[in-house]
């Protein structure tokens, strides 16, 4: 695993072209979150220009058959931002899949996952985020059954000629957060994602010994996932405290 401290726009040009198989990242959402080394409140135009510059560098390091999984969300007051960004990225990538990451859900009278409180009476709870699967040409073959689920109707296995009791999960992924009561349980980071999110992305891409990049590494969750999946990880992060956390998490996995 390679952890690099620095601004991704400065570090990415130093990486070899066409050297990365999978990118999984969650950049700052420009929602005013409390990062310690990054100001998360640019103008929308400035933010979109910045993200386009980052995306251009990411395109350069992607292999021709690479996958770029971009996790981003809007807010009740800024709902257009993810869509404005993905339209801007159309000049660089094909949008091969659009996955809805469902963080909490209500089925009938039952609820599963964490519902973050919403102030006021105008908006519904933000229960999902976007996971845009971007490729260079829209033709990257995936290992859909690597994140597959068993059939409910087992007669479909033989009746439809399937080799095993697995079907495609589809483009809604329910991955709830584990329950936390203190910010320290999220490594004092305002925008972490569950480790299963990058794990499923790496599995879906389906390449053994993949090189996995996260240009906004944060506390290292993508690199933790890469190690779990037997992949090689590269993480870039500008905040020294988060870099230290990521290195500690990886060392603990290695028994160090």
pLDDT tens-digit series, residues 17-40: 999 999 999 998 776 555 455 566
pLDDT at 63: 98
Q: Where exactly are the structural domains of the chain?
A: 2-253
- What per-residue confidence (pLDDT) applies to 188? 55
Is-above-0.95 flag for pTM? no
Helix (H) or strand (E) holding 156: helix 155-159
Architecture per CATH, domain 2-253, reads as: 3-Layer(aba) Sandwich (3.40)
Helical segments of 89-147, H only: none
Rounded CA separation 130/29 (Å):
11
Under a CB-based contact definition with an 8 Å cutoff, are residues 194 and 219 in contact?
A: no
**Between 114 and 224, where is the model more confident?**
224
List the one residue out of 29, 149, 192, 170 whose CA is nearest residue 99: 170
Average confidence (pLDDT) over 161-171: 92
CA distances from 52 to 62, 129, 150, 202, 205 (A): 15, 20, 39, 23, 23
């Amino acid at each position: 695993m390679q952890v690099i401290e620095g601004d991704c726009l400065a570090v990415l040009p130093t990486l070899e072209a066409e050297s990365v198989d999978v990118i999984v990242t969650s950049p700052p959402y420009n929602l005013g979150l409390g990062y310690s080394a990054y100001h998360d409140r640019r103008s929308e135009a400035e933010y979109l220009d910045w993200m386009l510059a980052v995306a251009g560098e990411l395109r350069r390091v992607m292999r021709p058959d690479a996958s770029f999984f971009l996790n981003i969300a809007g807010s009740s007051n800024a709902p257009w931002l993810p869509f404005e960004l993905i339209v801007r990225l159309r000049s660089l990538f094909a949008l091969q899949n659009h996955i809805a990451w469902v963080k909490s859900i209500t089925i009938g009278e039952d609820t599963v996952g964490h519902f973050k409180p919403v102030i006021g009476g105008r908006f519904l709870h933000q229960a999902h985020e976007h996971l845009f699967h971007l490729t260079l040409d829209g033709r990257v073959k995936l290992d859909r059954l690597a994140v597959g689920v068993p059939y409910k109707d087992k007669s479909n296995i033989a009746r439809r000629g399937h080799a095993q009791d697995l079907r495609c999960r589809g483009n809604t992924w329910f991955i709830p957060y584990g329950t936390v009561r203190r910010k320290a349980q999220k490594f004092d980071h305002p925008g972490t994602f569950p480790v299963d999110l990058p794990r499923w992305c790496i599995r879906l891409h389906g390449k053994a010994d993949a090189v996995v990049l996260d240009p906004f590494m944060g506390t290292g969750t993508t690199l933790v996932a890469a190690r779990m999946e037997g992949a090689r990880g590269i993480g870039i992060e500008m905040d020294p405290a988060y870099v230290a956390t990521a290195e500690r998490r990886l060392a603990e996995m290695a028994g160090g």
